[in-house]
A and B are shown apart, each in its own frame.
Chain A
Amino acid sequence: MTTTHPAPDVADSSDTPDGGTIADSTMWTSRLRRAWMSKLPPEKLLPDRQPAYVASWIYVFGVLTLAAFLVVIVTGLVLAFAGPAWYHTSWLGHFTNSLHFWSVQLFFVFMVIHLWGKFWMAAWRGRRAMTWITGVVAFLASIGTAFTGYLVQTNFDSQWISFEAKDGLNAVGIGAFFNVTDLGQMLLLHACLLPLVVGVIAVWHVLLVRLRGVVPPIDAVDPADRADVRTDLLAARPDDTPVPEARP
C-alpha cells in the first residue's frame, strides 16, 4: 500500500525520506525506529510463510504454549477481580477456577513437549543461544508462578502445600527471603510480579525466534545460510565464482 504524506510547508523540513529533517534523524526515537526496522521489519515479525521444515507437528507446541498462557492470564484476571468468595461458592466461579487450573496443566504439558523437541534438535544452533536461555528462564519462572498459585487457593490443600514447602525451602537455606505461609505475599507474587516476569520473558523469547528464525532440523540448511538466498553474499561474489549448490 502506498502512503502519501502532505507536502511540508517549509522547504528544508523534508530532508529525509519520511518527511523529517536531518536533525530529526539523529534523535534517539528515529535511530531506535531505524534499528528496529532493519532488524525486525513487519514482514519478518509476522511472516506469511515459514520454511518447509516447519510443516511438522513438533513445531506447533510453542504456539500452543502461548495459547494456553493466554487462557491462564484471562481466567486469572477474572479470578483476581471476582475474588475467592466468588470462585469458591458459585458454579461459574468453580468453572473459571477449573479453567485456570487446567489451562496451567496444558501450558506445562505443551511447554515440556516444546522443550523436548527443541532439545533434541539442538535449537541453540545458529546464534540462537539467547532464545534457548530465555526459554529456560521462562520455564523456571513458570514453575514459581504455578507454585505460588497452589499456595493461594485459600483451601486446606494450599495450607498443606505451604507448610510442606516451608520446611523444604528452609532446609535448602532460602526460607529467609520469602515466607510461603504468608498468603498476602504469595498472592502478590502470583498475581502481579511472576506473571509479569513470565510474560516479558515470553515476549522476548518470541521476538528472538522471529529475529533468528525457526531453527531448522539438524540435517537441513538454515535458509539464512543458503547462498542462493543470501543476496548480500551474491553481490559480493566475483562473477566467475560458481554459486554453491544448497544441500537438500
Chain B
Amino acid sequence: MDHTYQLAGMNDPATYLDLGWLSISVANLVVILVMIVIFLLAILLPFPKDRDHS
C-alpha cells in the first residue's frame, strides 16, 4: 500500500527498541518523552501575570 501521503504508515508494524528487559515501540517512547518535556516546561516556564492586578 502506498503511504507516501501519510506522515506515518499506520498499517505497518511498529518499530520496537529492545533494550534488555525493556521493549518499547518508538512511537510510545516518543509520546512518553514529549509528556516529560511538557511536564518540565509547565513547571519551569513563568505563567503570564494578570495585568489588572499585578
Binding site for B on A (CB under 8 A): 55-58, 60-61, 105, 109, 112-113, 116-117, 157
B27 CB, nearest partner CB in chain A, Å: 11
Q: Using known A-B contacts A113-B38, A113-B42, A117-B39, determine if residue A57 contacts B31 with beta carbons closer than 8 Å.
A: no
Select which of A55, A58, A60 is within 8 A of B43 by beta carbon.
Answer: A58
Asked if A55 and B49 sit within 8 Å, CB to CB, the answer is: yes
Asked if A109 and B43 sit within 8 Å, CB to CB, the answer is: no
A116 to B50 Cα, complex, angstroms: 26
Asked if B31 and A58 sit within 8 Å, CB to CB, the answer is: no
Select which of B34, B35, B42, B49 is within 8 A of A57 by beta carbon.
Answer: B42
Binding site for A on B (CB under 8 A): 11, 31, 34-35, 38-39, 41-43, 45, 47, 49-50
State the main secondary structure of chain B at its contact with A. helix
Q: Using known A-B contacts A55-B47, A55-B49, determine if residue A117 contacts B42 with beta carbons closer than 8 Å.
A: yes
Asked if B42 and A58 sit within 8 Å, CB to CB, the answer is: yes
Asked if A56 and B35 sit within 8 Å, CB to CB, the answer is: no
Query: Closest A-chain residue to B10, C-beta based?
Result: A157
Q: List 29 A-B contacts (CB under 8 A).
A: A55-B47, A55-B49, A55-B50, A56-B42, A56-B43, A56-B47, A57-B41, A57-B42, A57-B43, A57-B45, A57-B47, A58-B39, A58-B42, A58-B43, A60-B42, A61-B42, A109-B31, A109-B34, A109-B35, A109-B38, A112-B35, A113-B35, A113-B38, A113-B42, A116-B39, A117-B39, A117-B42, A117-B43, A157-B11
Q: Which of A105, A112, A157 has the most CB of B within 10 A?
A: A112
Query: Closest B-chain residue to A55, C-beta based?
Result: B47
A residues in contact with B45, CB < 8 Å: 57
B residues in contact with A61, CB < 8 Å: 42
B residues in contact with A105, CB < 8 Å: 31
A106 to B25 Cα, complex, angstroms: 19
A residues in contact with B50, CB < 8 Å: 55
Asked if A113 and B39 sit within 8 Å, CB to CB, the answer is: yes
Q: Which of B42, B49, B50 has the most CB of A within 10 A?
A: B42
A2 to B36 Cα, complex, angstroms: 50
A55 to B53 Cα, complex, angstroms: 13
A84 to B45 Cα, complex, angstroms: 43
Query: Closest B-chain residue to A61, C-beta based?
Result: B42
A179 to B37 Cα, complex, angstroms: 38
A109 to B34 Cα, complex, angstroms: 9
